[in-house]
């Protein structure tokens, strides 16, 4: 009923911002999300799921800033956010229709979605962990060798990574992800935290690499890899060992948001300019100085400006891309594939992904930083408004069926849903295909270690 009402009474593309209209859309969003989560609570007690984290990120990105503006609280950087304030009504309406279609698609088979019995039907297969951990160590050493001294000294500047470091990081990341999932799979259901740590202590090399990897990225202030590891561990724990309850998820989200906000204030692009103290000490000092002006979700919420830019520019000032950035990102799973494709067809590099496209729109050919992307804007610039609605519906349908399959301990589905979970927050401020490379490579590595490399 909400969807039909919204489609019938849609706003104009450009019109003056209507505070009451934005407030009404935000309230409808909250009601529908609460109803969605409540209905699925009947089928699972686990709250650390892809759909939950995706909806949290989606709500922050698409509704936090317009909702607060509708009640008179302007963003901290209004000139940075309001690309064109006349598209706000339309953008918020578009966001609500898109997520309703996503939730509808996800819920199509909800009565069949979750098995109720406490059965443990995880697939059994053997892994040569001695060989695996050796390869994991080798990939970690290669990454350290290639990444460069600036990163190892604690500077947050991905542009200074050494040549080949991105590919070394890809291999290291996927090997570590898969090792974490294998580790959780081998632990009996309902095991205590004490037993999990005892098992981890018996896998010393894996444990040391996991700790070193986490400390390394924490030290530089690169929060994405740390967040993905945390979500992966929590998601695998919820599937294989014990569900994560709502109160536990709330604590997890609040602590994580605070810690990552502190890290933001403590990182820097040049290690020689760091003041004394570690990243947490520097970050907490910076946070204390600006705490009255900072909301811990502001950085995520500000990505909505990309949606505003997309609606302001395409198709009036730039034609639709008709899937071009989807193709380049898809081909990008092959090493050097995207650059070879662009060179072969003489396509400007600004179309190598929607993030590059939006950076070009904002800063031209000589940008000083990346603007990033946003999930609806990523789809819209390629396929338009109705294409966005259709793709969001099918994305919801795919997500729901995938979780249904993972709930039955189908291991391939578990791998995919955990990769989606790792990207659940970030993909709202990125591209729809953001998790694709992780998904493809983790399936390839799993095939190699279970079918080819056995001894």
* pLDDT tens digit sequence for 389-431: 999 999 999 999 999 899 888 999 999 999 999 999 889 999 9
Rounded distance between C-alpha atoms, residue 21 and residue 11, angstroms: 9
Nearest 5°: phi and psi at 136?
-65, -45
Measured between alpha carbons, how far is 447 from 369 in angstroms, rounded to an integer?
38
Q: What is the pLDDT of residues 139-153, one digit of tens each?
A: 999 999 888 777 777
Residue 208 has pLDDT above 60, yes or no: yes
Q: Is the pTM of this model over 0.85?
A: yes
Quote the mean pLDDT of the chain. 88
Residue of 64, 58, 19, 62 whose CA lies nearest to 308: 62
Report the percent of the chain where pLDDT is more than 70: 88
pLDDT at residue 30 greater than cutoff 80: yes
Question: Which of 51, 17, 438 minimizes the C-alpha distance to 229?
Answer: 438
Instruction: Using alpha carbons only, give the angle 304, 308, 313 rounded to the nearest 5 degrees.
Output: 145
Write down the pLDDT at residue 174: 96
Q: What percent of the chain has pLDDT over 90?
A: 63
Bigger pLDDT: 218 vs 328:
328
Nearest to residue 284, comparing CAs of 211, 221, 213? 221
Q: Which two tokens stand for residue 132?
A: 């695996």
The pLDDT assigned to 271 comes to 55
**C-alpha pair distances (Å), 360 with each of 84, 347, 352, 355:** 17, 14, 11, 9
Tell the residue number behind the tokens 């090399």, with chain if given: 205
Report the pLDDT averaged over residues 370-379: 94
Q: If you average pLDDT over residues 64-82, what whole number do you get?
A: 93
DSSP state of 128: -
Reported as type and span, the H/E element at residue 193 is helix 193-201
Q: How far is CA 38 from CA 23, 24, 47, 362, 411, in A?
A: 23, 21, 11, 41, 27
Tell me, what's the pLDDT at 147? 86
Measure the CA angle with vertex 165, ends 163 and 167; round to 5°: 110
Give the model confidence (pLDDT) of 106-161 as tens digits. 998 655 544 443 455 566 778 889 999 999 999 999 999 888 777 777 666 666 67
* More confidently predicted of 262 and 100: 100
The whole-number pLDDT of residue 113 equals 47
pLDDT at residue 314 is higher than 50: yes
Give the position of tokens 């030290």: 219
> Which has more confidence, 88 or 118?
88
Asked whether residue 76 carries a pLDDT value surpassing 90, the answer given is no
What number is the average pLDDT over the span 41-58? Answer: 92
The structure tokens 């000092």 sit at 285
């Amino acid at each position: 009923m909400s969807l039909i009402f919204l489609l019938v009474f849609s706003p104009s593309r450009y019109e003056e911002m209507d505070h009451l209209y934005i407030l009404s859309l935000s309230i409808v969003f909250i009601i529908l999300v609460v109803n969605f989560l409540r209905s699925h609570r009947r089928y699972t007690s686990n709250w650390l799921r892809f759909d939950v984290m995706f909806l949290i990120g989606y709500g922050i990105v698409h509704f936090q800033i317009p909702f607060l503006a509708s009640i008179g609280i302007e963003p901290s950087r209004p000139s940075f956010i309001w690309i064109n304030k006349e598209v706000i009504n339309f953008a918020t309406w578009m966001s609500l229709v898109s997520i309703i279609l996503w939730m509808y698609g996800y819920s199509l088979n909800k009565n069949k979605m979750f098995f109720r019995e406490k059965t443990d039907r995880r697939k059994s297969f053997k892994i040569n962990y001695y060989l695996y951990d050796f390869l994991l160590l080798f990939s970690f050493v290669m990454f350290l060798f290639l990444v460069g001294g600036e990163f190892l000294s604690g500077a947050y500047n991905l542009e200074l990574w050494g040549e080949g470091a991105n590919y070394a990081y890809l291999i290291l990341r996927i090997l570590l992800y898969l090792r974490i999932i294998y580790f959780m799979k081998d632990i009996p259901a309902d095991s205590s935290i004490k037993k999990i740590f005892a098992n981890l202590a018996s896998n010393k090399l894996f444990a040391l690499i996991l700790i070193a990897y986490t400390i390394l990225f924490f030290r530089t202030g690169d929060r994405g890899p740390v967040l993905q590891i945390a979500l992966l561990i929590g998601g695998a724990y919820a599937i294989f060992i014990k569900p994560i309850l709502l109160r536990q998820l709330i604590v997890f989200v609040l602590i994580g948001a605070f810690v990552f906000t502190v890290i933001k204030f403590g990182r820097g692009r040049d290690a020689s300019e760091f003041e004394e103290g570690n990243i947490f000490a520097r970050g907490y000092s910076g946070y204390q100085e600006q705490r009255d002006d900072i909301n811990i979700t502001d950085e995520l919420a500000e990505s909505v400006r990309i949606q505003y830019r997309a609606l302001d520019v395409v198709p009036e000032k730039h034609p639709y891309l008709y899937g071009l950035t989807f193709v380049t990102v898809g081909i990008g799973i092959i090493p050097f594939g995207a650059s070879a494709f662009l060179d072969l067809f003489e396509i400007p590099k600004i179309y190598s992904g929607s993030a590059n496209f939006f950076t070009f729109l904002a800063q031209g050919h000589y940008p000083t930083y990346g603007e990033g992307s946003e999930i609806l804007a990523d789809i819209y610039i390629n396929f338009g408004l109705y294409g966005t609605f259709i793709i969001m519906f099918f994305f919801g349908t795919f997500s729901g069926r995938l979780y249904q399959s993972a709930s039955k301990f189908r291991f391939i589905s578990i791998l995919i849903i955990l990769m989606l979970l790792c990207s659940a927050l970030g993909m709202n401020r990125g591209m729809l295909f953001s998790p694709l490379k992780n998904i493809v490579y983790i399936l390839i590595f799993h095939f190699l270690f279970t079918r080819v490399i056995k001894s």
